[in-house]
Structure 1
Amino acid sequence: MVAVRATTLPVLTGLMLLTACSGGGAGASSSAAAPSTSAAPSSSAQGPASSAPPLPSSSAAATSSAAAPAVGSGKVVVLDPGHNGGNASHPGEINRQVPAGRGHTKPCNTTGTSTNSGYPEHAFTFAVAQEVGNALAAKGIKVVYTRTNDSGVGPCVNERAQIGNNANADAVVSIHADGSTSPTAHGFHVAYSSPPLNAAQGEPSMKLARTMRDGMRDDGFPTSTYIGSAGLSPRNDLGGLNLSTRPAVLVECGNMRNADEAAQMSSAAGRQHYAQAIAQAIEAYLAG
Structure 2
Amino acid sequence: MFSNESRGGGRGAPLLIAVAATAACLAGCGSGSASGHPDAGSVGSLQTATADGARPATGKPTATAARPSAGGRPTASGRTAETLPLAGRVIVIDPGHNPTNYEHTAEINRKVNVGNGRKECDTTGTETNAGYPEAQYTLDVSRRVRALLTARGAKVILTQDGNRAYGPCVDERARIGNQARADAALSIHADGAPTADYGFHVIAPTSMHVGGADTRAIAAPSYRLATTLRAAFAAATKEPFADYLGGGKGLMVRSDLGGLNMSTVPKVFIECGNMRNAHDAKALTDPAWRQDAALGIADGLTTFVEDASRGKG
How far apart, in 1, do the equivalents of 2:234 and 2:296 lie?
A: 9
- Indicate the residue corresponding to 1:88 in structure 2: 102
- Indicate the residue corresponding to 2:239 in structure 1: 221
- Note if 1:75 corresponds to 2:92: no
> Which residue of 124, 134, 144 maps to 1:121?
134
Q: CA deviation at 1:31?
A: 7.5
Q: CA deviation at 1:152?
A: 2.5
How far apart, in 2, do the equivalents of 1:78 and 1:151 lie?
A: 17
Q: CA deviation at 1:19?
A: 5.8
For residues 243-265 of structure 1, give each alpha carbon's deviation from its aligned partner in whole angstroms, at most 9, with x where no partner exists: 10000000000100010110111
- Indicate the residue corresponding to 1:130 in structure 2: 143
Residues 1-288 of structure 1: matches in 2 within 5 Å?
Answer: 20-25=5-10, 28-30=13-15, 32=17, 34=19, 67=81, 69-102=83-116, 104-149=117-162, 152-180=165-193, 182-196=194-208, 197-219=214-236, 220-229=238-247, 230-288=249-307
Q: CA deviation at 1:224?
A: 0.6
Change (3 A) 1:33 1:109: farther
**Structure 2 alignment gaps of length 5 or more:** 21-38, 41-79, 209-213, 308-313
How far apart, in 2, do the equivalents of 1:84 and 1:124 lie?
A: 10
Change (3 A) 1:26 1:244: farther
- Indicate the residue corresponding to 1:11 in structure 2: none
- Indicate the residue corresponding to 1:46 in structure 2: none
How far apart, in 2, do the equivalents of 1:68 and 1:246 lie?
A: 24
Provide the identity percentage.
44
Change (3 A) 1:87 1:31: farther
TM-score (norm 2): 0.72
Give the partner amino acid of 1:222.
P
Give the partner amino acid of 1:147.
Q
Change (3 A) 1:224 1:136: same
Change (3 A) 1:240 1:119: same
TM-score (norm 1): 0.78
- Indicate the residue corresponding to 1:62 in structure 2: none
Give the partner amino acid of 1:237.
D
How far apart, in 2, do the equivalents of 1:133 and 1:210 lie?
A: 21
Change (3 A) 1:31 1:211: farther
Please provide the CA RMSD for this pair: 2.3
Change (3 A) 1:136 1:169: same
Change (3 A) 1:31 1:256: farther
Q: CA deviation at 1:25?
A: 1.6
How far apart, in 2, do the equivalents of 1:128 and 1:279 lie?
A: 10
Of structures 1 and 2, the larger Rg is shown by: 2
For residues 187-238 of structure 1, give each alpha carbon's deviation from its aligned partner in whole angstroms, at most 9, with x where no partner exists: 1110011134434332110110110111112222210101223111010100
Q: CA deviation at 1:34?
A: 4.2
Q: CA deviation at 1:280?
A: 0.7
Aligned length: 241
8 A Cα contact 2:90 2:184, kept in partner: yes
How far apart, in 2, do the equivalents of 1:33 and 1:167 lie?
A: 36
Secondary structure class of the residue paired with 1:110: coil
How far apart, in 1, do the equivalents of 2:218 and 2:159 lie?
A: 20
